[in-house]
Amino acid sequence: MSKPKIRVLIVDDSALVRQTLSDVLSSDPQIEILDTAADPFIAAERMQQEVPDVITLDIEMPRMDGLTFLQKIMTQHPIPVVICSSLAEEGAQSTLKALEYGAVDIITKPRVGSRQFLEEARVTLCQAVKAAAAARVRPIVPHLVEPKLTADSVLARPTRAMIETTDKVIAIGASTGGTEALRVLLEALPLDAPGLVIVQHMPEMFTRAFARRLDGLCQITVKEAEPNDTVIRGRALIAPGNHHMLLKRSGARYYVDIKDGPLVSRHRPSVDVLFRSAARYAGQNAVGVIMTGMGDDGANGLLEMKEAGAITLAQDEETCVVFGMPNEAIKRHAVDHILPLPAISSAIITHCRGEADA
């Protein structure tokens, strides 16, 4: 018996975008287009007749904006929603807000381009819809934002060298559901946390806004990585969308290299690329963390990290939006410890401090 197709409702005020999305998604034999709608009111009428498995949703639309419609969906009848955005940076904050409201992922609106671009867009779009169909849609619990510590409290904390050969590097990979999972993890880290390098599958331009948002929420500094950025205590570097990020080392200094290149494990940036570089240049000085996401990106790289002497952690199934990436790593015997999301940050700190005190 064949597996039922994933039924998708496309909501966008542009007829061209609706047609393009329909064509791209319909090219995958596992996906079918249930219907399209020019605005949320038409979408709501269609949903009364038949409930889709996944909704792709634009933000700026007539009569009702996408954020308002998303809140209504998640309150009245939670359905996996994928935000489809045109990637203007000025709109990135609204799109990131949609992830807080319960959207599963962000995808880029396909546009006319080279054959390679259109093929990559097809892979990305179809992967996002499949991940959404497999996602656990949960009510979003509002959280209070605590301000960063004052300058006095920062200066009062115990000091230690920022760059030394015994410093740990934390390499993290996440995909579907990772934006909120990373917020939970990073918010719990103290100011003197080891340096972090992070790959979150996210389109170009959004990673900068995402990093700025996290920087405003966390005690540590968070920024979109640039070529030659040093990995230092109290800072997280997030791979820029559409570019691979590699960890490198020069003497006692860890830094990142930003590269173009083909999709790796169907992604750019790829978690496998980051993890493999961490295995090579950090070895036992690294901690690898694989989190919620669809597919297997990062599973092989995490195994390489473990074989190089790194401690490896995976988010557990219960707290994942999609258990694909952690599960693949577990099946490859790449994981030392399987932990619920709230326990990962403390496990990182406990391990790194234990190593430093040993």
Mark whether 267 is an active-site residue.
Answer: no
Neighbours of 309 (CB within 10 A): 12
Q: How far is CA 231 from the centre of its chain?
A: 20
Q: Which of 53, 58, 229, 297 is catalytic?
A: 297
Mark whether 260 is an active-site residue.
Answer: no
Mark whether 351 is an active-site residue.
Answer: no
Rounded Cα distance, 267 and 270, in Å: 5
Q: Which of 85, 167, 175, 270 is catalytic?
A: 175
Phi, psi of 237 (to 5 degrees): -110, 125
Residues forming beta bridges with residue 57, ordered by sequence position: 11, 83
Rounded Cα distance, 308 and 286, in Å: 9
Q: Which of 35, 53, 58, 201 is catalytic?
A: 201
Match 């807080």 to its residue by tokens. Answer: 100
Rounded Cα distance, 144 and 134, in Å: 29
Q: Strand runs (DSSP E) across 175-252, as ranges? A: 195-200, 221-224, 235-238, 244-250
Which residues are catalytic, by number?
A: 175, 201, 297
